[in-house]
Amino acid sequence: MAPIDADAGYALADLAARSGADLHGDGRVRVTRVATLERAGPGSIAFLANPKYAAMLDATRASAVIVTPEDAGRTALPKLVTPTPYLAFARIAAVLHPSASPAPGIHPTAVVDAGATVANGVSIGPHATIGAGTALAEGATIGAGCAIGRDVRIGARSRLDANVVVYDGCAIGADAIVYAGAVIGADGFGLAEDGGRWLRVPQVGRVVVGDRVEIGANTTVDRGAIDDTVIGDDVKLDNQVHIAHNCTIGEGTAIAGCVGIAGSTRIGKRCRIGGAAMISGHLSIPDGTTLGGAAVVMSTIREPGAYSGSWPVQKYQDWRRSAARLRQLDRLAERVAALERTWRARESGG
């Protein structure tokens, strides 16, 4: 499984070993890149996981494909066979298209406080700032323009892309990726009403991020008001997610873009939350729960399962008619209750 020159690519047999898939056909075929079935050309490997794209298998120009055992007989191309084609594709894509790692060192324009600790192999980009007492573990990468506060901990091999902000006292584990523009540890929305005006409540907790976490571009994770906001190991947050103060996100949970989670909410392990879902505060969601896109969660979910609370799209006039009827539901319920009382009275001879 030795790496080959990038132009020559990898032998299909090598990729089979690296992905855990079974090789069917000529293992000497060279693969240099990944592609879709529709746009693949010589040197490409594509995958079929969704049956609705099965017709493209016949016409693809890929040099090799990744398929399920059920689809293996549909093509004579050299192939990798696995029950999980998309997972094998992800592993192969990481081999064929590895992320570029910047050279270790501190850019001359970066500002690193004398009280910070910078381990071997750390890369700090242009105009980044590192506060006093902060510790960057071995192999960490701090991108251009990042602002890392005081007493922050960044784990080994973690990567912060350009313009990430990490506020004082926060911690990020090992092998994490924080994409451009994310903000970790800003104050949460803590306000107390004072005679018609708002008094800001100091937020004294931290954000603690586990290992192998990914935090998407322009995502915001607020620090705890008193206790910490905690993001568990292997959590994946998409772009423009907002997690408010004192939330806990269990390990292995994946949250799609534009989700908003209000304060002090506890989300369990291995949950899946669809894009634009809105989750109210001070509630719990159990391990293994799936929320559909645009779902609205207003109270604690007691049992794991798949939930959805969005209104499917309608033509505008149909939507107006449905909304008008919804506004009449309380009056209709009162009329039904009155009819039931009348019926019961007649049945009892009253």
* CA 125 vs CA 34, 74, 142, 150: distances in Å: 30, 50, 6, 18
Are the beta carbons of 165 and 143 closer than 8 angstroms?
A: no
Tokens of 172: 């990020």
DSSP state, 264? T
Instruction: State how far the Cα of 280 lies from the Cα of 260, in Å rounded to an integer.
Output: 8
Distance CA 89, CA 34 (A): 8
The active-site residue out of 24, 97, 242, 245 is 245
Q: What is the DSSP letter of 202?
A: P
Provide the edge-to-edge strand list for the sheet that holds 248-249. 117-118, 135-136, 153-154, 171-172, 207-209, 229-231, 248-249, 266-267, 284-285
Other CB atoms within 10 A of residue 156 CB: 17
The b/e string for 105-137 (b: 16+ C-beta within 10 A; e otherwise) is ebbeebebeeebebeebbbbbebbbbbebbbbb
245 is catalytic: yes
Host H or E run for residue 317: helix 316-327
Please say whether the beta carbons of 57 and 74 come within 8 A.
Answer: yes
Residues involved in catalysis = 245
